[in-house]
Each structure stands twice: as C-alpha cells, then as structure tokens.
Amino acid sequence: MINLIIFGPPGSGKGTQAAKLVKKYKLQHISTGDLFRYNLSNNTKLGKEAKKYMDKGELVPDKVTIKMLKDKVESSGKVAGFILDGFPRTIAQSKALDKFLKSRKQSVSKLVMLDVPDEELKERLLERGKTSGRADDVNPKIIQNRIDVYKNTTYPVFNYYFKDRNAVKVWGVGSLETVFKRLCFEINDLEVVKKTKKLAAAKRARAKKATEKKSKAKKTSTKKASKKKAGPKLKTAKPRKKTSSKRAKKK
Ligand code: AMP
C-alpha cells in the first residue's frame, strides 16, 4: 500500500498535482476540501456544519474531519493506496491518521510538501477565485487567514513527519510538468513504489511472453490448416524418355 500525503499551503497546487499523481501511481485521491464542498453543495448536515468554518478560512473541527476521512477510506474498497490532499492539517489529525493506518497494518509512506512563497500563493488564489466559484478564494482577508492558519496550525505537521524522515519539501514554483517531475522524483525513491514497479514489469513481461506463445501457436495451426486445405501434393509425372529399344522397333 502506498499512502502519500500531498502537503502545502492553500494555493500551492496540491489538488492539481494530486490529480496527475493519482493517474501515474493508480491511487485513490482523497481531498478533504473537496469532500466538504461536496457536502456543502448537497446541503447535508456535515456540509452545513463545515460551511461555518470554511467561509471564514478556519479549520473544520478535528472530530468531524477525522470521521469523514475514515469513512471515505473505509468505503473505498480495494485500492493500491491513497493520496491524501488537505489532510492532515493539525497534529491531532496526524496522530489520528497514524493510529487509523496502524489499525489497518499500514503507515504513511511519505509526505511531500509543495513549497511556494506567500506572495505567489495570494496571487494564485485571487486568480483562481475568478473562476473557481469558491467564496474562500475571493476575499483577500480570508485568503490571508487561510495562509496564517496554515503557518500556525498546519505547518507543524511537516515537522511531525519529518522526524521519521519521511517528509520532503519540493519547490512548487514552475510549470505544472516541472513541479510534477520533482514530485515523481521523490515518490519514485520510495521502496514500496520500486517494489510495485518491479512487480508490474514482471507481470508485463509474463503477459508479453504469453501473447508471443499464443501467436506462435496460432501461426503453426494456420500453416497446418492451409496445408490440409490444399490437399496432398501430387507429383507431376516426368515425360518419359523414349527407350532405345522402342526406337529400334520403329526402325
Ligand atoms: P482546501 O480545499 O483543502 O483548501 O480546503 C478548504 C477548506 O475546507 C479549508 O479552508 C477548511 O475550512 C476545510 N478543510 C479542508 N480540509 C480540512 C482539514 N483536514 N481539517 C480541517 N478543515 C479542513
């Protein structure tokens, strides 16, 4: 199981990069922000509760968020792993996640943080606000509050995982592809990813061999069939030479 955390301040590109990583590593993407917005648009009890905090750029209480995350993981069925985007955002959430994964005989494989300077974050969020329809992307005060909450409450999560040496910072400024390559470089370094890749390569090789064997068998059987259709080869009789005795008779 690969359990990645894509981490970083609001506007650092977590969601965009997570969508690309999910495709490459065949993982299940869980974004707590998206889950809250889904509940909000469906006017659920959870959505109504979360709205009070989201509108102000505050964090939704841990208890509510942790439960939502666990429910989502548990209902995800058989997957190769998860990319958690926007979770954990507090130390309490990190501890709850570790405990939850441990109960499933798993752990966090790696936390990759997208490092982006504040000024760039503000610009990106205001730009996104023009089209995203997200109320928390429009107001500069709310944007600033989200960045402050990140620095004060969320950033310590990086240090929490860094202690176990499975947290890295990746420079999050550059083209989408460049940042993606930087992330992949860090993820490919994981033992669990190397092992998965090896297994996949072996599986591909086995499949290739089987198809080659099949097509070889097919070729031989069509050759045999066409021979059968043509019937037995008839020997063309050679013109008989006149024998000398015949010639002698004629004379
Ligand atoms: P995001 O889309 O990740 O920027 O999240 C949007 C908003 O959802 C945040 O500003 C919080 O109000 C709420 N939210 C998302 N994830 C969490 C979390 N792990 N803990 C608490 N609140 C969260």
Q: Map out the domains of the chain as residue ranges.
A: 2-27+79-117+154-200
Is residue 104 flagged as an active site residue? no
CA distance 33 to 85: 8
Overall average pLDDT of the 215-232 stretch: 81
pTM over 0.75: yes
Instruction: Give the up-direction half-sphere exposure of residue 3: CA atoms within 13 A in the CB hemisphere.
Output: 17
pLDDT the model gives residue 228: 74
List ligand 1's pocket residues with C-beta within 6 A: 10, 32-33, 36, 53-54, 57-60, 65, 86-87, 89, 93, 136, 146
In a mutational test of the pocket of ligand 1, which residue from 14, 60, 157 has the highest number of ligand atoms less than 8 Å from its CB? 60
pLDDT the model gives residue 251: 44
CA distance 194 to 108: 16
Overall average pLDDT of the 166-185 stretch: 97
- Which residues are CB-neighbours of 161 under 8 A, at least 6 positions away? 5, 94, 108, 111, 167
pLDDT band at 223 (very low <50, low <70, confident <90, very high): confident
CATH topology of domain 2-27+79-117+154-200: Rossmann fold (3.40.50)
Token digits for 154? 């969320």
In a mutational test of the pocket of ligand 1, which residue from 30, 32, 46 has the highest number of ligand atoms less than 8 Å from its CB? 32
Average pLDDT over the chain, rounded to whole? 92
Placement of tokens 């990645």 in the chain? 4
Burial class (CB in 10 A: 0-12, 13-18, 19+), 136: buried
Is residue 128 flagged as an active site residue? yes
